[in-house]
Amino acid sequence: MMALESPIFLSLYILLPLLALYLWWQKKQGTLPVIRFSELEGVRQIPQTLAIKLLPSLKILRFVIIALLIFALARPQLSQSQERRYAEGINIFLALDISDSMRAEDFNDTNRLQTAKSVIRDFLRFRESDRIGLIVFSGESFTLCPLTLDYSVLSDLLDDVEVEMGGQLQDGTAIGDAIAMSTHRLRTSEAKTKIVILLTDGENNAGTIEPGTAAALAQSFDIRVYTIGMGKEGGTRIPYEDTTFGKRYTDVITYLDEVTLKMIANTTDARYFRATDMQSLKHVYAEIDKLEKTKFKVVNYTVRQELAGYFLIPAALLLGLEILLSNTVLRKIP
């Protein structure tokens, strides 16, 4: 929208009708009685040329020039309001259990790992302006993706995650090591909010750092660790492929150490969640999304573009034209 920086100058427009009235009065006062001569009467009969007819247009031109100059003095501006959002960054590390027990199929015939990956991908779609990284762990932990804003790359890496990464990692569940590695990655971050979302279906039975020690370390760096316990009550059996009989199930039953997961969450001022099916796991991540929503600082500002030049330039051109005409084709002899 267009606005005027100095609208007070528009009051000068009152001079235009006053000037017109003055010129009319001056012309009327200049009409004096004269003696008519026959010779002059003959001159009056001569047809008026185009230059004579255009002579009054000089006065109109001068009024237009004055009008343009007055409007330029009022400093017309094109104003455009804009909004800029500044994100108060959140740094998130996803710690995902990929131990052998994550092959258990107690989530609508889908194993726990595939279910977790699917829900995490949905979680990524709802985040913006957050740097997110991924750590996978079984008997040892491994940083699969450092903190990044490129969620597509993170999602592609997540697609390649397998149980124990195809035998590359040791068997077991090293919860303490996963928290310690996440803390190490986040401790130097300048983000106002730093969190870890740890998902596991078992108990800490591997690694070199106890979960309690790791939780205290995270808390010392103001890192909150949300813990998610995955799996049905009472545990479940783990499937395996038999070359003769196809898919079979072992007699090993996995159990979830909720006491430890609750302790970790409480130590770091976070929360513990239990997910027993696909829907409840989605609800857990949605709840964390609400608790740790990115905050935006909104700054409103106005961009102004000066338009006075668009009136000064035509005024200057018209003034030059007026000077040229009044001294050439429309020149008057006193």
The predicted-structure confidence for 158-184, as pLDDT tens digits, reads as follows 999 988 775 667 788 999 999 999 999
Cβ neighbours of residue 68 closer than 8 Å, sequence gap 6 or more: 311, 312, 314, 315, 318
Would the pLDDT of 329 be above 90? no
Say what the pTM is. 0.62
The predicted-structure confidence for 93-134, as pLDDT tens digits, reads as follows 999 999 888 888 777 767 889 999 999 999 998 887 788 999
| Span of 36-50, 67-81, 123-137, 203-217 with lowest mean pLDDT | 36-50
3-state class (DSSP) for residue 75 = coil
Q: Give the model's pLDDT for residue 235.
A: 59
Query: What distance in Å separates the CA atoms of residue 111 and residue 179, rounded to the nearest whole number?
Result: 24
Q: Give the model's pLDDT for residue 98.
A: 92
In angstroms, the first-to-last Cα distance of the chain is 49
The predicted-structure confidence for 22-34, as pLDDT tens digits, reads as follows 777 877 776 544 5
Sign of the alpha-carbon dihedral angle for 315, 320, 325, 331: positive
Q: Give the model's pLDDT for residue 269.
A: 94
Would the pLDDT of 137 be above 90? yes
Q: What is the set of domains in the chain, with CATH numbers? A: 2-81+301-326 (no CATH), 90-293 (3.40.50.410)
The predicted-structure confidence for 210-258, as pLDDT tens digits, reads as follows 999 999 999 999 999 999 998 876 656 666 666 666 566 665 566 788 9
> Which tokens in the block code for residue 79?
């104003």
Q: Rounded mean pLDDT of the chain?
A: 81
Residue 65 to residues 94, 118, 179, 206: CA-CA distances in angstroms?
A: 70, 71, 76, 88
> Which tokens in the block code for residue 92?
């998130």
Q: Give the model's pLDDT for residue 32.
A: 45
Q: Are strands 141-148 and 131-137 parallel, antiparallel or unpaired?
A: antiparallel
Q: Give the model's pLDDT for residue 83.
A: 62
Higher pLDDT, 82 or 266: 266
Q: Give the model's pLDDT for residue 261.
A: 95
182 within 8 A of 117, measured Cβ to Cβ: no
Q: What is the mean pLDDT of residues 189-201?
A: 90
Q: Give the model's pLDDT for residue 183.
A: 96
164 within 8 A of 142, measured Cβ to Cβ: no
Q: Are strands 2-4 and 76-88 parallel, antiparallel or unpaired?
A: antiparallel
The predicted-structure confidence for 272-328, as pLDDT tens digits, reads as follows 999 888 888 899 988 888 877 666 555 566 777 888 888 888 888 888 887 887 777
Q: Give the model's pLDDT for residue 50.
A: 63
